[in-house]
Amino acid sequence: MSTVNIHEAKTHFSRLVDAAANGEEIVIAKAGKPAARLVPIEPLKARRRFGGMKGEIRIADDFDAPLPDHVIADFEGR
């Protein structure tokens, strides 16, 4: 983590943004006191595409049918 003053940050803003994009954390100080932090952003997660597996997955007709008593008993520790 490096610290720069506001004047230096304005002068070398592009370089500081590149450094932050490469994982470095930069503190921007005003009158010697930390005022802001320049950090890399987390990459955006890919958006899910609904229906992407259509026709490739089969769900049984009784998928949501109640479980047999012996299976429920096993889950409950009986």
Question: How is the chain split into domains, by residue range?
Answer: 2-38
Residue pair 30/8 in contact by the 8 Å Cβ criterion: no
- Looking at 3.20.20.70, 3.40.50.620, 3.40.1620.10, 2.60.120.10, the CATH number of the domain 2-38 comes to 3.40.1620.10
Does the predicted model carry a pTM greater than 0.95?
Answer: no
User: pLDDT by residue (tens digit) across 10-43?
Assistant: 999 999 999 999 999 999 999 999 999 999 998 8
Q: How confident is the model at residue 66 (pLDDT cuts 50, 70, 90)?
A: very high
Q: What is the largest CA-CA distance in the chain?
A: 72
